[in-house]
Amino acid sequence: MEEVPLEVLRQRESKWLDMLNNWDKWMAKKHKKIRLRCQKGIPPSLRGRAWQYLSGGKVKLEQNSGKFDELDLAPGDPKWLDVIERDLHRQFPFHEMFVARGGHGQQDLFRVLKAYTLYRPEEGYCQAQAPIAAVLLMHMPAEQAFWCLVQICEKYLPGYYSEKLEAIQLDGEILFSLLHKVSPVAYKHLSKQKIDPILYMTEWFMCAFSRTLPWSSVLRVWDMFFCEGVKIIFRVGLVLLKYTLGSSEKLKSCQGQYETMERLRALNPKIMQETFLVQEVRWEWGLAPASSVGFLTAHGCKLVT
């Protein structure tokens, strides 16, 4: 994990406190500065608060005062409660918050996920929401985590958690189209092996890499994701594909479909390392094909660094 000198961390904390205490002014006039500070990494002590501000979860909570408590007290649909209950122990089982079965962390996770099924009954529950909610709960109380989850599901990754997974399939096609520009070698290999994007990118995107990357990298990716939106998820995916399959040397051990999928399931730790990955995500980008520009713009994403 990248060690930030204490003095630098204190300076960053001071700058972030000023931003958070004057948030509307900063958002209106200095959004580029916010983006640069998110790319450098949000100070751990302020990360939860910053995520709430960046995502709009704080505003959502204020607009819906008492709503979470109302959902929390409601009984919930038995078909979802049973599935959620079975998933609780699978989320970060070695983290102190979730290590105890029936402990406070698992209880809060259950509350947040159950509340979402009542808030959006037409969507219900999707297993990929559990690690997302768990990461949020590591940084904020249940009510705040709930509204950040709502924002991720509705604003950042709309349609990802619906039953037919249409949005994730569309984004898989767009990722593949972008890969053609970023790494023609990787694109050609995956095409030749007839490996559909949905086979390797579903968990990456739906869990926002929380089950893929080392923890320090997850936090840095999420800092940028909350600020810049889904384009960060695309960029991380492209970096992983490029540095896993993007040269003839790398492809020597990926001759067939099985070997390629195994390589994508067991990524090289070096390319997932925080410093390398963040640097690549910040600067590495090819020209997006026209078909992708409209889609990513619709997601609130600009394709320029």
Stronger pLDDT, 43 or 290, i.e. the higher one: 43
Q: Among 157, 159, 163, which residue's Cα sits nearest to residue 132?
A: 157
User: Would you say residue 217 has pLDDT above 90?
Assistant: yes
Distances (CA, A) of 282 to 1, 25, 36, 212, 291: 18, 25, 10, 19, 22
Reduce the secondary structure of 70-115 to three states and give it as a string: HHHHCCCCHHHHHHHHHHHHHCCCCCCCCCCCCCHHHHHHHHHHHH
Query: What does the pLDDT read at residue 304?
Result: 33
User: Would you say residue 273 has pLDDT above 50?
Assistant: yes
Taking residues 63-73, report their average pLDDT. Answer: 96
DSSP state, residue 147? H
Rounded CA-CA distance 64/75 in Å is: 20
pLDDT band per the 50, 70, 90 thresholds, residue 300: very low
Taking residues 264-282, report their average pLDDT. Answer: 94
Q: Token pair 């990722």 is at which residue?
A: 175
User: Would you say residue 127 has pLDDT above 70?
Assistant: yes
Residues 6+ apart with CB under 8 A from 243: 250, 268, 271, 280
First to last CA, the chain: 25
User: pLDDT over 90 for what percent of the chain?
Assistant: 78
Rounded CA-CA distance 129/185 in Å is: 33
- Domains of the chain (ranges, CATH numbers): 1-40 (no CATH), 63-156 (1.10.8.270), 166-298 (1.10.472.80)
Rounded CA-CA distance 105/88 in Å is: 9
pTM reported for the whole predicted model: 0.90
Residues 6+ apart with CB under 8 A from 5: none
Please give the structure tokens belonging to residue 248: 């003839």
Q: Are 113 and 127 in contact (CB under 8 A)?
A: no
Query: What does the pLDDT read at residue 1?
Result: 60
DSSP state, residue 156? I
Q: Are 210 and 127 in contact (CB under 8 A)?
A: no
Q: pLDDT tens digits for 77-108?
A: 999 999 999 999 999 988 888 888 888 999 99
Q: Among 229, 162, 230, which residue's Cα sits nearest to residue 201?
A: 230
Please give the structure tokens belonging to residue 277: 């990955």
Q: pLDDT tens digits for 6-48?
A: 888 899 999 999 999 999 999 888 889 999 999 999 999 999 9
User: Would you say residue 213 has pLDDT above 90?
Assistant: yes
Query: What does the pLDDT read at residue 222?
Result: 98
Rounded CA-CA distance 25/31 in Å is: 9
- For the chain, the residue count is 305
Residue at 32: amino acid letter: K
Query: What does the pLDDT read at residue 229?
Result: 95
Mean pLDDT of the chain: 90
